């Protein structure tokens, strides 16, 4: 009997040693850091609870909701950043459809795509980057081959906007299936003539011809971009991130992607309440200069015919004025911003109280009512009441204007605080 007990004891010790790593769960510790290191150009927004307020036709709705942590661009996407997207698409079209030069591709992997089993070939971007954009910097022998894809835009030879299309895949949200993987192809060149289109009987041709391409405006927010184009940019930005982290063992296993902010994320970031008990919305309306003079710190229309008292008639560089308490610039004024949500006057009552979002991917056959997307934040051409964080508007997902831009977000991970650390039991 004693021998049997000894054998049993040895077996239990061996079993315990084998299972130690599996069942010896470590204690939960508080994280000393208050925020994660954000990607370049972004700000970490911790999780929080706030009153989700919506103002529709002078009727206010609100309810308490929570959002999990996320990163958000500290500025609106500017012309220079969007030009990088346009040039990347132009280079892709040039290499795939016009150059037919194997040296621009990575070695074949044998992978195929589509019913015709066409070979899937990947572009070697490390080689392209040295002479990108190809239509502008490539040697003459390459430029000659690209002549058929070029056209004249405002007196300058540029890639034909009709050819610059970006293809990406996403899960289509329709309120029923929410699981269908679909492909979308979006023409991504901005609508440069939005200035004249938005302001008939006004002299805007200089803005049409220069705003997107002239270096004077490279740090101003990109405009003339539809909701679908903004979403395509966010997807492309995610592909660039994957390239950057593919050789980083600490990051490559995380599924990270960019998106437009949901309406709730946008409002939470705009209000910048760093303390849950705070009742103040931290939007800096005015500042006092060294002489004691009060100056406007938002780019908006101050009254009928009054556009310039804030320092500019049109948009301003995206880091103008003072950021809010989260470090975000121009969440009010400069340009209004696309959000991910579909528009409904009753959105706050339809969505969940955790990470609320009303998502609907309209197709071409849907009526205009189903193609409305939420726009938040007043712009350079709006009056003061449009700057409120709870004021909302909408536009068609294919519409483009001189006063609507966007910024991107990326999901982040929660940081454990003092509340959740493991403690000893006390009576």
The pLDDT score that the predictor gives to residue 226 is 98
The pLDDT score that the predictor gives to residue 59 is 64
State the chain's mean pLDDT as an integer: 87
The tokens describing 211, both together, are 């705003």
Q: What is the pTM of this model?
A: 0.90
The pLDDT score that the predictor gives to residue 108 is 74
203 belongs to a structural domain: no
424 belongs to a structural domain: yes
Q: How far is CA 265 from CA 33, 70, 71, 162, 372, in A?
A: 22, 8, 10, 34, 19
Residues 71 and 241: beta-carbon distance below 8 Å: no
CATH number for the domain spanning 12: value is: 3.90.1580.10
Nearest residue to 143 via CA among 157, 122, 162? 157
Residues 93 and 166: beta-carbon distance below 8 Å: no
341 belongs to a structural domain: yes
155 belongs to a structural domain: no
Task: Tell me how far apart the alpha carbons of residues 411 and 208 are, in angstroms, rounded to a whole number.
Answer: 35
The pLDDT score that the predictor gives to residue 180 is 85
227 belongs to a structural domain: yes
Nearest residue to 36 via CA among 71, 74, 2? 71
360 belongs to a structural domain: yes
The residue segments making up the domain with residue 289 are: 1-78+219-427
The pLDDT score that the predictor gives to residue 314 is 97
- In total, how many domains does the chain have? 1
Task: Tell me how far apart the alpha carbons of residues 26 and 45 are, in angstroms, rounded to a whole number.
Answer: 28
The pLDDT score that the predictor gives to residue 278 is 65
Question: Which residue numbers in the chain have pLDDT < 70?
Answer: 1-20, 55-59, 109-119, 247-253, 275-296
The tokens describing 315, both together, are 């948009």
Strands (E), 134-202: 150-153, 156-159, 165-172, 180-187
SS3 347: helix
83 belongs to a structural domain: no
Q: What is the largest CA-CA distance in the chain?
A: 104
């Amino acid at each position: 009997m004693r021998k049997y007990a000894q054998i049993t004891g040895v077996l239990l010790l061996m079993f315990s040693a084998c299972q130690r790593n599996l069942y010896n769960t470590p204690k939960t510790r508080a994280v000393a850091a208050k925020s994660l290191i954000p990607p370049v150009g972004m700000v970490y927004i911790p999780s929080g609870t706030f009153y989700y307020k919506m103002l529709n036709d002078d009727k206010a709705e609100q309810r308490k909701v929570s959002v999990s942590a996320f990163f958000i661009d500290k500025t609106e996407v500017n012309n220079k950043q969007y030009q990088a997207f346009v040039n990347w698409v132009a280079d892709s079209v040039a290499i795939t459809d016009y150059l037919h030069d194997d040296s621009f591709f990575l070695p074949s992997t044998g992978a195929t795509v589509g019913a015709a089993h066409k070979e899937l070939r990947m572009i070697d971007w490390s080689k392209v980057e040295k002479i990108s954009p190809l239509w502008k910097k490539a040697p003459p022998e390459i430029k000659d081959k690209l002549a058929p894809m070029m056209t004249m835009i405002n007196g300058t030879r540029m890639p034909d906007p009709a050819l610059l299309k970006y293809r990406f895949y996403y899960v289509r949200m329709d309120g029923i299936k929410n699981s269908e993987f679909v492909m979308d192809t979006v023409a991504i060149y901005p609508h440069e003539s939005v200035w004249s289109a938005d302001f008939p009987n006004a002299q805007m041709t200089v803005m049409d011809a220069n705003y997107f391409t002239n270096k004077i405006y490279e740090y101003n927010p990109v405009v003339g971009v539809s909701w679908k184009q903004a979403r395509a940019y966010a997807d492309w930005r995610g592909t660039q991130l994957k390239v950057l982290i593919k050789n980083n063992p600490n990051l490559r296993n995380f599924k990270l992607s960019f998106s437009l902010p949901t309406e709730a994320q946008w409002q939470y970031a705009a209000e910048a309440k760093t303390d849950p008990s705070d009742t103040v919305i931290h939007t800096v309306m005015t500042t006092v200069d060294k002489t004691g003079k009060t100056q406007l710190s938002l780019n908006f229309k101050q009254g009928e015919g009054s556009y310039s008292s804030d320092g500019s008639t049109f948009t301003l560089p995206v880091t103008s004025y003072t950021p809010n308490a989260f470090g975000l610039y121009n969440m009010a004024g400069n340009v209004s911003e696309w959000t991910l949500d579909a528009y409904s006057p009753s959105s706050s009552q339809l969505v969940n109280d955790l990470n609320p979002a009303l998502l609907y991917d309209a197709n071409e056959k849907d009526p205009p009512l189903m193609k409305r997307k939420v726009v938040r934040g007043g712009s350079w051409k709006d009056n003061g009441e449009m700057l409120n964080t709870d004021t909302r508007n909408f536009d068609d997902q294919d519409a483009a204007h001189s006063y609507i831009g966007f910024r991107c977000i990326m999901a982040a991970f929660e940081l454990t605080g003092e509340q959740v650390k493991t403690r000893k039991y006390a009576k």
